[in-house]
Amino acid sequence: MRKGIAVSPGVVVGKAYCIHDIFVNPKTRRLAEDSIFAELRRYEIARERTAADLHALHQKVASQVGAEQAAVFHAHETILHDPAFTAKVRARIVDHHEAAPAALEHVLAEYTALFTRMEDEYLRERLVDVRDVIIRLSGHLSPVLSQDPETISGPIVLVASELLPSQVVALGQREVAGIVTQSGGQTSHAAILARSRGIPAVSGVPGILRTVKNGDTVVVDGSSGHVIVNPDSETESAYRKLQREFVHLKDVLAENRDLPAVTADGVPIELLANINNVEDARAAAAMGAAGIGLFRTEYLFLTHSSVPDEEEQLAAYRAIIEASPHNRVCIRTLDLGGDKTIPYLGHDREANPFMGWRSIRLSFEHPQFFTTQIRAIVRSARNTDGSQADVRIMFPMITTLEEIRRVRAMVHRVRRALSAEREVVDSVPIGLMLEVPAAAVSIESLLDVVDFVSIGSNDLVQYLMAADRDNPKVSHLCQPLSPPVLKVLASVIAACHRARKPVTLCGEMAGHPRAFVLLIGMGLRSFSMSPAFIPLIKDVARHLTIPDAEDVLAGALRLKTTSAVNRFMADQISRLAPNLRILDSA
Ligand code: PEP
Ligand code: MG
């Protein structure tokens, strides 16, 4: 049994499908002179097949998901067709008598050395794309790697070192029942994918690929973080029972899609969804969300090779709004920087990117770009058929009163300019994301300038606890149920209520039963989360009365440590909703 980080709750027993680090066992044999031509031909065939794969993937993702998400495959085609790349591989085969997989390994090593020396973080990260193309190529050269997951019968548990962007998108269409990765934390690609689709997942299990091979039976307990390879029959049947309970529970929960989101004593609760693209918006509708509480616009920019202009942004926002429940979408302006950079904005390396030039700070430095986004958002409040949509705009990482005054003035200027152009201009409520402790301390003065507040607890927790949310080494500190975090949340929610300003919470904790009960106790009634968590949280709400939640909160606030709060809350969830225990985790 191995223990990793529990990133997406639930239990599954399935057959392993390993995505190996590319060259686990590269063939190093030297080619005989007379097989060089055949090897070049073999490489050429692999290249043609890879090109066909990429083209098909591009088409499929563009039609099923969207043009922006498909752009990554276009970038991969460009790498594949790059003459310098091909020349390097051919030279290794011809001059060094290397088999094609070994030649690719050398070329990858060369690119790795080149990319890691690059100053530009965005360019450095493009190494992922080169690796991705090389993996695909070697998949067509090596029978082990090219095994089609379809040949493995039963539910598949994906075991990977890390998941690459293109694998994440392509696997989205396939039945993946569980995910285990060697690296990554709660916010890695794999974790976000798994959570948004309700797939049990564990990350941070070093060396798991050395102990598991294709077709092995693997148990993934995404609630406790345990992974078991080839369990004995007793263990396997115990976990199969848990899996049946998990599947049954998901079905039961999915059935509550049309039930009202109310507490056991009839108080309405607003359950909204966090989304990155149109596909997520559809998932939100399918899960019974009341609307979109957080649309992260940076994914539109990250998947676009150049700046999307106003009309392109408008079209993208309208498509999202149209797919969203009640045409209700809270659009967050660009939240780039930190770990997300794009080349066209220019970005120097910084010692502390999360504390540096990110998010709203970066947007202010590009007023023209920022204004274009605000214009597209304000215009998107009017649907193409002339009807009005429920669009709100919110600004990330607000730290000071000056900042929120400045964005408010920008929105007003945009509205005036649009009216002057004879556009119909609708009112778009303006909100701030409460993510910085300084803003929590001075929330009362900030509230005078905004229409609503959305608590971004992922960032708020990392800044309050001075613990990077992506670093597994400090994950014991980055805990939303720690007593100081609970105190700050309670005081922010109370301040919003006193000022009669709507407040919602859109961090990951909104989808965790323990946190949800405590937040209800604090008086919060609006939550935004990954769509897959909505049925679960609705069920928790339906088991809970307000006085119950207030009592639980009072009990939790008396505790002095995070582990004491977690133990206490695990007991409370078992008492309040024993049926949901399997989906409860810290
Ligand atoms: C947050 O910080 O809680 C949040 C919702 O924003 P993101 O996760 O995109 O930083
Ligand atoms: Mg944030």
Element containing residue 252 per DSSP (H, E): helix 233-255
Q: Which of 141, 166, 181 is the last residue of a domain?
A: 141
Residue 508 lies in a domain: yes
Is the pLDDT score of 303 beyond 70?
no
Per the structure, how many domains does the chain have? 3
Residue 28 lies in a domain: no
Assign residue 386 a region: left if phi > 0, alpha if psi is -120 to 50, beta otherwise? left
User: If you search the block for the tokens 């599954």, which residue do you land on?
Assistant: 12
pLDDT in tens, 193-211: 677 778 899 988 888 888 8
Q: Which of 251, 280, 314 is the last residue of a domain?
A: 251
The number of beta carbons lying within 10 Å of the beta carbon of residue 239 is 21
**pLDDT score for 67:** 77
Q: Which of 141, 167, 191 is the last residue of a domain?
A: 141
Same domain, 311 and 455: yes
**pLDDT score for 499:** 98
298 touches ligand 1 (CB under 6 Å)? no
Residue 146 binned pLDDT confidence (cut-offs 50, 70, 90): very low
Catalytic residue numbers, as ranges: 189, 506
**pLDDT score for 73:** 84
From 340, 432, 435, 528, the mutation candidate for ligand 1 (largest count of ligand atoms within 8 A of CB) is: 435
Q: Which residue's alpha carbon is nearest to atom 1 within ligand 1?
A: 456
**pLDDT score for 378:** 97
Structure tokens at 220: 């993934």
Residue 358 lies in a domain: yes
Is the pLDDT score of 545 beyond 90?
yes
**Candidate ranges 154-158, 351-355, 401-405; pick with highest mean pLDDT:** 401-405
**pLDDT score for 372:** 96
Residue 411 binned pLDDT confidence (cut-offs 50, 70, 90): very high
Distance 562 CA to ligand 1 centre (A): 21
Greatest distance between any 2 Cα atoms in the chain = 83
Same domain, 69 and 83: yes
Output b/e per residue, 166-189; b: 16+ Cβ within 10 A.
bbbbbbbeeebbbbbbbebbbebb
From 302, 453, 458, 504, the mutation candidate for ligand 1 (largest count of ligand atoms within 8 A of CB) is: 458
459 touches ligand 1 (CB under 6 Å)? yes
Residue 239 lies in a domain: yes
Find all residues with CB under 8 Å of 366, minimum gap 6, and list them. Answer: 345
Residue 527 lies in a domain: yes
Average pLDDT of span 346-356: 74
CATH code: domain of residue 72: 1.10.274.10
The terminus-to-terminus CA distance of the chain in angstroms comes to 20
Same domain, 259 and 312: yes
Average pLDDT of span 272-276: 92
Assign residue 576 a region: left if phi > 0, alpha if psi is -120 to 50, beta otherwise? alpha
CATH code: domain of residue 242: 3.50.30.10
Question: How far is residue 305 from each of residues 148, 169, 313, 563, measured CA to CA in Å?
Answer: 31, 17, 14, 45
Closest CA to 221 of 210, 206, 235: 235
CA distance 154 to 218: 12
CA distance 275 to 225: 25
Is the pLDDT score of 174 beyond 60?
no
Same domain, 235 and 331: no
Task: Please identify, by atom number, the ligand 1 atom nearest to the C-alpha of residue 454.
Answer: 5
Task: Please identify, by atom number, the ligand 1 atom nearest to the C-alpha of residue 298.
Answer: 9
Phi, psi of 573 (to 5 degrees): -65, -40
Strand-pair category, 270-275 with 292-296? parallel
**pLDDT score for 192:** 66
**pLDDT score for 149:** 58
CA atoms in the 13 A half-sphere facing the CB of 542: 16
Same domain, 52 and 151: no
Is the pLDDT score of 64 beyond 90?
no
**pLDDT score for 323:** 96
Find all residues with CB under 8 Å of 378, minimum gap 6, and list them. Answer: 391, 393, 411, 414, 415, 418, 425, 426, 428
pLDDT in tens, 99-121: 888 898 889 888 888 887 887 76
pTM attached to this predicted model: 0.73
Least confident of 371-375, 422-426, 491-495: 422-426
CA atoms in the 13 A half-sphere facing the CB of 260: 8
**pLDDT score for 24:** 38
Task: Please identify, by atom number, the ligand 1 atom nearest to the C-alpha of residue 507.
Answer: 3
Share of the chain above pLDDT 90, in %: 51
Residue 166 binned pLDDT confidence (cut-offs 50, 70, 90): very low
Same domain, 163 and 135: no
Task: Please identify, by atom number, the ligand 1 atom nearest to the C-alpha of residue 274.
Answer: 5
pLDDT in tens, 382-407: 988 889 999 999 999 999 999 999 99
Adjacent-strand bridge partners of 207: none
**pLDDT score for 25:** 42
Residue 350 lies in a domain: yes
Same domain, 385 and 408: yes
Least confident of 243-257, 259-273, 509-523: 243-257
Element containing residue 170 per DSSP (H, E): helix 165-171
Q: What is the DSSP letter of 29?
A: P
Same domain, 134 and 151: no
Same domain, 111 and 182: no
**Range of the structural domain that residue 441 is part of:** 255-583
Same domain, 137 and 217: no
Do 454 and 394 meet the contact criterion of CB atoms below 8 Å apart? yes
**pLDDT score for 451:** 98
Sheet containing 2-3: give its strands across: 2-3, 226-229, 217-221, 11-19, 156-160, 176-181, 201-203, 5-8
Q: Chain-wide mean pLDDT for the chain?
A: 87
Same domain, 119 and 153: no
pLDDT in tens, 115-139: 878 877 667 767 878 888 888 888 7
User: Higher pLDDT residue, 147 or 387?
Assistant: 387
User: Higher pLDDT residue, 246 or 408?
Assistant: 408
What are the strands, taking DSSP E only, across 136-242?
A: 156-160, 176-181, 201-203, 217-221, 226-229
Same domain, 196 and 65: no
Do 228 and 219 meet the contact criterion of CB atoms below 8 Å apart? yes
Residue 427 lies in a domain: yes
Residue 489 lies in a domain: yes
**pLDDT score for 449:** 96
The number of beta carbons lying within 10 Å of the beta carbon of residue 87 is 11
Structure tokens at 46: 């692999």
The number of beta carbons lying within 10 Å of the beta carbon of residue 412 is 11
457 touches ligand 1 (CB under 6 Å)? yes
CATH code: domain of residue 577: 3.20.20.60
From 186, 280, 506, 533, the mutation candidate for ligand 1 (largest count of ligand atoms within 8 A of CB) is: 506
Question: How far is residue 130 from each of residues 25, 72, 105, 404, 412, measured CA to CA in Å?
Answer: 20, 11, 12, 41, 44
